Amino acid sequence: MLGNFLDTITIPSPVVNPNIIRENVMRMKKKIESFNANFRPHFKTHQCAYVGTIVRECGVNQIAVSSVSMAFYFAKNGWKDITLAIPFNIRELKPLLQLAQKIDVLNIMIDHEQTAQYVAEHVQDAKLGIFFKIDTGYKRCGVQPQEYEAVDKLLSIIGQNNNLTFKGFLTHCGHTYQKTTCEERQEILEGAREAMIALRARYITKFPKIIISVGDTPGISAAKNLEGIDEVRPGNYVFFDVMQARMNNCEAKNISITVACPIISLHPERKQIVVYGGGTHLSKEYLVSEQGQKICGWVVKYNKDGTWTHLPNALVTTLSQEHGIITFENASDLDQYKIGDVIGMLPVHSCMTSCVSKFMYSTDGTKHGTLLGETEDYPSF
Ligand SMILES: Cc1ncc(COP(=O)(O)O)c(C=O)c1O
């Protein structure tokens, strides 16, 4: 057993390292600011007020979120400038307006004229910033960058309500995740940058303060040029994960989140140990190695001070609902483990791990709440 707070762990528990988080934030912030762009990190990756506080200590005061309840949660924790970076769900207008009255800046995103119409007809007693979502190739949502008529229509609808201010154009290149090389991801971001700049040029005379907002961790990590972009919204970079490491966006040492899992069975004959910690705790996303091996996570050994060391001789090879199977290179690698020990997993996709976590420990042993740990849909404050 370990001689620190990990001794007290009874169930699968995320553990985050604030020093690595801080390094990740400062590195990303420095890169973005070197192009005179504004850093607005997406907080969907951690959904944790404690992690948010570390980001704030790095000099950040603007964030993006992906739900109204997440906006409430972070507003309750002192964030006053928030962009809701998902096409707005009109059924949540009432809580959204309550929130808009409590913080300095609340921006929403729209890509359809029915949403614009609803918002224009119903927003009163609160100010909202409006971004138009632009589809630069991901094909999830958004207006095409050359669909000027659609943009004009949206502008004329929101122009009917003085409580709404057009802020600019927002895009998300999620398709960078589907590309294998850094050059391909760089190309995607460059294409989006050019399309967004051309779009802004068309409207800049009428709206001189138009903001162009882009952001995804693989694209920004690969980017060589962010010239002309006003705002960047990466999310995953704060934790990174195995997926990002395999894309060469980080190394194992840059991953700031692990899940500490109790060992519940040992199988040296198959070079495997079984832990309490499965899809319910990490999500069931996996990658496949060049040799066709399923990778459900990387493995770490915890040090006495709560930090960890990556074990390159082990892989998480299976995750079922609550079991995880760790396969080692040699049966003798298992000699140092016994039932009841705690071993850690580096998640394949950290955003999915956080969103199933009700709490997180920091390496000093403090337990921190998350959005999921709050009971209310819209945490009151
Ligand atoms: C609209 C939007 N912006 C930014 C991000 C952040 O992307 P990443 O987690 O790759 O940094 C996301 C993530 O899904 C997103 O949906």
Query: What is the CATH classification number for the domain harbouring 136?
Result: 3.20.20.10
> What values do phi and psi take at 253, rounded to 5?
-70, -15
Please give the full DSSP string across 3-24, using - where no structure is assigned: SSGGGG--S-EEEE-HHHHHHH
In a domain, 332, yes or no: yes
Q: Is the CB of 217 under 6 A from ligand 1?
A: yes
Nearest to 32 by CA among 214, 280, 154: 214
Specify the residue with its C-alpha closest to ligand 1, atom 15: 172
Same domain, 214 and 117: yes
Please give the full DSSP string across 210-263, using - where no structure is assigned: -EEEE--HHHHHH-S--TT--EE---GGGT--HHHHHTTSS-GGG--EEEEEEE
* Total domains present in the chain: 2
How remote is the CA of residue 215 from the centroid of ligand 1, in Å? 6
In a domain, 307, yes or no: yes
Q: Is the CB of 42 under 6 A from ligand 1?
A: yes
Q: What's the residue count for the chain?
A: 381
Same domain, 69 and 200: yes
Q: Is the CB of 216 under 6 A from ligand 1?
A: yes
Which CATH number goes with the domain that contains 312?
2.40.37.20
In a domain, 380, yes or no: no
Domain boundary among 197, 215, 241: 241
Residue 340, exposed/middle/buried by CB under 10 A (0-12, 13-18, 19+)? exposed
Same domain, 206 and 308: no
Q: Residue 176 CA: which ligand 1 atom is closest?
A: 10
Which residue among 138, 176, 233, 241 is best mutated to probe the pocket of ligand 1, counting the most ligand atoms within 8 A of its Cβ? 233
pLDDT tens digits, one per residue of 297-314 = 999 999 988 899 999 999
Q: Is the CB of 14 under 6 A from ligand 1?
A: no
Distances (CA, A) of 190 to 172, 173, 224, 229, 268: 12, 10, 9, 11, 50
> What values do phi and psi take at 199, rounded to 5?
-65, -45
Nearest to 77 by CA among 96, 42, 51: 51
How remote is the CA of residue 235 from the centroid of ligand 1, in Å? 6
| Rounded Cα–Cα distance for residues 369 and 372 (Å) | 8
Same domain, 42 and 179: yes
Q: Residue 235 CA: which ligand 1 atom is closest?
A: 11
Same domain, 217 and 289: no
**Predicted confidence pLDDT, tens digits, the chain (381 residues):** 345 788 899 999 999 999 999 999 999 999 999 999 999 999 999 999 999 999 999 999 999 999 999 999 999 999 999 999 999 999 999 999 999 999 999 999 999 999 999 999 999 999 999 999 999 999 999 999 999 999 999 999 999 999 999 999 999 999 999 999 999 999 999 999 999 999 999 999 999 999 999 989 999 999 999 999 999 999 999 999 999 999 999 999 999 999 999 999 999 999 999 999 999 998 889 999 988 999 999 999 999 888 999 999 999 999 999 999 999 999 999 999 999 999 999 999 999 999 899 999 999 999 999 999 987 789 888
How remote is the CA of residue 172 from the centroid of ligand 1, in Å? 6
DSSP state of 138: -
Specify the residue with its C-alpha closest to ligand 1, atom 10: 216
Same domain, 99 and 208: yes
Same domain, 144 and 43: yes
Distances (CA, A) of 201 to 137, 146, 165, 198, 381: 20, 12, 19, 5, 41
Same domain, 320 and 342: yes
Same domain, 57 and 9: no
- The range of the structural domain enclosing residue 340 comes to 5-13+256-369
Nearest to 343 by CA among 258, 280, 271, 285: 258
pLDDT tens digits, one per residue of 238-271 = 999 999 999 999 999 999 999 999 999 999 999 9
Say which residues have a Cβ less than 8 Å from residue 149's Cβ, sequence separation at least 6: none
How remote is the CA of residue 263 from the centroid of ligand 1, in Å? 34
Q: Is the CB of 215 under 6 A from ligand 1?
A: yes
Same domain, 178 and 43: yes
**Could you tell me the two tokens for 25?**
């934030």
**Could you tell me the two tokens for 154?**
């949206």
Q: Residue 44 CA: which ligand 1 atom is closest?
A: 13
The strand pair at 272-276 and 323-328 is best described as antiparallel
In a domain, 179, yes or no: yes
Q: Is the CB of 40 under 6 A from ligand 1?
A: no
Which residue among 136, 216, 238 is best mutated to probe the pocket of ligand 1, counting the most ligand atoms within 8 A of its Cβ? 216
Say which residues have a Cβ less than 8 Å from residue 220's Cβ, sequence separation at least 6: 28, 31, 32, 189, 214, 226, 232, 234, 237
Same domain, 231 and 269: no
Contact 335, 343 (CB under 8 A): no
Neighbour-count burial for 252-264, b at 16+ CB within 10 Å, e otherwise: bebbbbbbbbbbe
Token pair 């079922």 in the structure block, residue: 320
Same domain, 217 and 300: no
State the DSSP H helix or E strand holding residue 295, giving kind and residue range, or none if neither: strand 294-295
Q: Residue 215 CA: which ligand 1 atom is closest?
A: 4
In a domain, 248, yes or no: no
Distances (CA, A) of 315 to 88, 258, 286, 343, 381: 40, 14, 11, 12, 43
Q: Is the CB of 347 under 6 A from ligand 1?
A: no
In a domain, 375, yes or no: no
Query: Can you give the pLDDT at residue 376?
Result: 76
In a domain, 374, yes or no: no
Query: Can you give the pLDDT at residue 26?
Result: 98
Q: How far out from the chain centre does Cα 237 lie?
A: 7
Q: Is the CB of 185 under 6 A from ligand 1?
A: no
